[in-house]
Amino acid sequence: MTRILLVEDEIKLRQNTAQFLIAEGFAVSEAGAGLAALQCFRAEKPDLILLDILLPELNGVQLCQIIRQESAVPILMVTALGGEEDVLAGLEKGADDYIVKPFRMRELVARIRAVLRRQSLVQAPQSVLHLGELTLDIDGVRLLKQGREVSLTATEFRLLSMMAKQPGRAFTRLQLLEGAIGEAFENYERTVDTHIFNLRKKIEDRSGKPRYIQTVFGVGYRFGEQR
């Protein structure tokens, strides 16, 4: 049974969320403050952490940073509406995804399952990814669209590979810059937009309504999940 560590200081919300997750088949551990959450994480080794940002003792971003030094456990951060800076900080400290309050419980469960699904793909990496009309050969450094090769620069290929390995995950511009170039400089993060613009021209049928590389407003980009 998948165990979730639910970290939320609002008691009523924590109780309601825990009850719903248990009804959906998850095992749930609860914590209402940062230090208690850290102790619980170390003792119980959960499969996923649902982590509120605004916490007493240690806030969610600080806690995320500590956990990332010890584990690759998936972390889904919870933020209040309008907390874009908190979202960016959390993602850049290693969170896998985020959800905004107030949220519907069904939406929360869908996001949890999506994060767990992406984690399983990372743990069992494939050298060739089939993504809609695209075939991405990681080892061969080749991209095909409907069987025809698409010419990409080295930076474009690294950007596309980074996102395509985890469809649905939101990446900040700094994360993409570091992944594609190896270093992240805040003054250069907007250069990612140029690379994304060029990528879209090459792989999207309608770059104004992208199917593959989607904008996450206030955050960055993600590779759309393909059905």
pLDDT in tens, the chain (227 residues): 899 999 999 999 999 999 999 999 999 999 999 999 999 999 999 999 999 998 999 999 999 999 999 998 999 999 886 567 878 888 888 888 888 888 999 999 998 998 888 777 666 567 889 999 999 998 888 999 999 999 998 889 989 999 998 898 999 988 888 887 665 555 566 788 888 999 999 999 987 889 999 999 888 999 998 76
Q: Would you say the pTM of this structure is higher than 0.75?
A: no
46 and 90 share one domain: yes
When divided into structural domains, the chain yields a total of 2
138 and 108 share one domain: no
CA 66/CA 86 separation, integer angstroms: 16
100 and 174 share one domain: no
CA-to-CA dists, residue 20 to 15, 104, 149, 171, angstroms:
9, 11, 47, 28
Among candidate residues 76, 101, 75, 85, the one with its CA nearest the CA of residue 16: 101
157 and 209 share one domain: yes
Which CATH number goes with the domain that contains 212?
Answer: 1.10.10.10
13 and 93 share one domain: yes
Among candidate residues 30, 101, 32, 20, the one with its CA nearest the CA of residue 60: 32
Which CATH number goes with the domain that contains 92?
Answer: 3.40.50.2300
Domain enclosing residue 38, as ranges = 3-123
Model pLDDT, residue 72: 85
Phi, psi of 215 (to 5 degrees): -80, 135
